[in-house]
Amino acid sequence: MVLKWIDSLEIALALLEQYPDVDPVTLHFPELYAWIMALDEFDDDPNHCNERILEAVQQCWIDEK
């Protein structure tokens, strides 16, 4: 499955799987962005990301944790 910026929940689930001991509330957006970009399944234009997208991913991660 290829992940795009619009896949907030799927990105959050992938991050939760890769970083199970991380509290997503403590993450800063630059770190969250870097972790998303490093996901093997992620393939989207890095320039299409914005704060709103990162907030959505972070909130999904918080909700799933």
pLDDT recorded at residue 46: 96
pLDDT of residue 60: 98
Contact 64, 16 (CB under 8 A): yes
Confidence of residue 6 (pLDDT cuts 50, 70, 90): very high
* pLDDT single digits (tens) 48-57: 999 999 999 9
Q: Which domains does the chain have, with CATH numbers?
A: 8-64 (1.10.10.600)
Compute and round to an integer the Cα radius of gyration of the chain: 10
Distance between CA atoms of 24 and 58, rounded to whole angstroms? 6
pLDDT of residue 62: 97
pLDDT digits (tens, 9 = 90+) for 16-45: 999 999 999 999 999 999 999 999 999 999
DSSP designation for 25: G
pLDDT at 1 over 90: no
- 51: DSSP letter: H
